[in-house]
Structure formats: C-alpha cells, structure tokens
C-alpha cells in the first residue's frame, strides 16, 4: 500500500485511470538503468525520479565540462570536472529522497551489463556513442530487458522502444545495421539545442512510465521530431530476419 505521504505527493498521477494506485506502486517497485547522464540522461532522470521510480541506476564515466551546462540541466559551474553520474546521483538524492539512486561512475561495458541488467526492469539508452548503442542493444536482447532509445542532433531528435519480450519487436541493429556505415553526425560535429534533448528525454521517460504501469508501448515505431517545423513523424519498421542480434538465427 502507498503511504499517506505518497498518496498526497503522487495524487495527480494516481487519479489517472491508466495509472491509479497500483501503477504508482509499480513505479515505486521499479528499477531503471539510465545509460549516459548527458543531455538526455539529465532530464530523463529528473522526470523518472519525480514520478516515484523506486531505484535508479545512472551510469556515466565522463566528467562535466562547461560546454555541457546549456543542456545538462542538473549541473552548474561548480560541478565542472566532477563525474557526471556521481554528481547527478547526489543532486537527485537530495531532491527525491524516496528514490534510491546508485551512481556507476564508469562507462558501461559487457561485464557491467551482465551484472546490472538482471536487476532492472527497463534500460534507457541516453548515450551519444554508436558503439555503446550497439553494445547495450545486444545486452538487452540477451537479457530480455526492454530498451528505450533516444538520440538528438541539431534541431532533430528520434526515439525508439525495443522490447525483447515481444518476439516481433525489432532491435537497434534492425534499424542501423552494424555492417553499414555508422551515422557520422553527432552533437560534437553539428551541435545540439537543449530543448530538443528535453523533448526526446521526456518521451523516453513517458515510454518508461507507460511500460512499468502496464500501458501499451508501441514497438517497431521510430518517432522523429523536426524542431524547426515542430513536426513529429512516425515510421514503421520490421524485425529483420537476418539481424545478427535479434533474429531467430542470431547467436545472442
């Protein structure tokens, strides 16, 4: 049962028919891993902690730079050179004491994935490195852990939900095969504007909350936003029969 304080704090969520008290309890019992505490991981972690997620694991081996501050809204000038995961965990714990926050102050690798993924209900990919995306995609397929992917450059953003528990769900490599040339554009090459990251991170947090509270989450749909025209587009995709990660013939 929810405590009286929890009923008051989360009353606007509980009154929603699609969440209710049972959904709020599910959020309290949930464990979520956020990979990358940059422009996406900052707002995503704030929204998830604020929603009442019970445990957040946040992983990032990078340190804070002054160029991060316009879009990584948890951090301030005094945090420059601090580890992102540790700094974010400290600030989130202070603001949301009901949520258990564990910082992983290192880049997630296969060994760490094998340790943490069996513990969590869902993973958010908030990284900005294509090889990291391939790695966490494969690990989530292997452990059958839902994966909420977000990415943004310039004025554009995209979001994809992967659920390995659904045998028809495509994976990241179905969309971007590793055998093909990886996308060249990223935040370092063409820049990024902060509100686009907030919109994609908000979508990632929303998909996570829906999944954890038993609401339908659309797989095989790439959601894309053009921030200049303020237009969202949805593109359907299919699980690839020859995908080396998620097909029936894969070795994962």
Residue 74's CB: how many other CB atoms inside 10 A? 22
The answer to whether 81 touches 39, Cβ cutoff 8 Å, is no
8 A C-beta contact, residue 174 and residue 246: yes
Q: CA 248 → CA 141, 241, 242, distances in Å?
A: 12, 7, 8
Beta strands in the chain (DSSP E): 31-35, 55-59, 100-104, 122-125, 147-153, 156-162, 221-226, 231-236
Catalytic option among 126, 187, 243, 246: 187
Q: Is the C-alpha dihedral spanning 14, 20, 26, 32 positive or negative?
A: negative
User: Cα separation of 148 and 206, whole Å?
Assistant: 10
Instruction: Please state the separation of Cα 239 from the chain's center in Å.
Output: 21
By the 10 Å C-beta count (0-12 exposed, 13-18 middle, 19+ buried), 224 is classed as middle
**Separation in Å, CA 35 to CA 84, 108, 117, 154, 252:** 11, 8, 11, 21, 21
87 is catalytic: no
Strand partners, 34: 58, 124
Q: Please list the active-site residues.
A: 187
């Amino acid at each position: 049962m929810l405590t009286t304080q929890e009923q008051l704090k989360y009353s606007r969520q509980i009154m929603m028919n699609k969440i209710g008290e049972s959904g709020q309890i599910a959020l309290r019992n949930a464990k979520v891993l956020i990979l990358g505490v940059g422009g996406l991981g900052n707002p995503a972690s704030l929204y998830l902690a604020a929603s009442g997620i019970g445990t957040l694991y946040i992983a990032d081996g990078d340190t804070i730079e002054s160029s991060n501050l316009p879009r990584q809204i948890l951090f301030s000038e005094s945090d420059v050179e601090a580890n992102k995961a540790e700094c974010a965990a400290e600030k989130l714990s202070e603001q949301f004491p009901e949520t258990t926050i564990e910082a992983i102050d290192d880049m997630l690798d296969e060994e760490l994935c094998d340790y943490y993924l069996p513990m969590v209900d869902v993973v958010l990919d908030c990284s900005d490195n294509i090889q990291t995306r391939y790695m966490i995609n494969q690990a989530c397929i292997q452990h059958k852990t839902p994966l909420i992917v977000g990415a943004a450059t310039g004025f554009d953003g995209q979001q994809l939900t992967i659920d390995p528990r659904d045998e028809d769900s495509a994976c990241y490599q179905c969309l971007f095969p590793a055998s093909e040339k990886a996308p060249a554009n990223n935040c370092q090459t063409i820049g990024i504007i902060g509100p686009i990251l907030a919109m994609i991170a908000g979508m990632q947090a929303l998909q996570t909350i829906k999944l954890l509270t038993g609401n339908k989450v659309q797989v095989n749909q790439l959601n894309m936003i053009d921030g200049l025209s303020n237009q969202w587009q949805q593109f359907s995709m299919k699980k690839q029969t020859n995908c080396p990660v998620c097909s029936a013939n894969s070795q994962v």
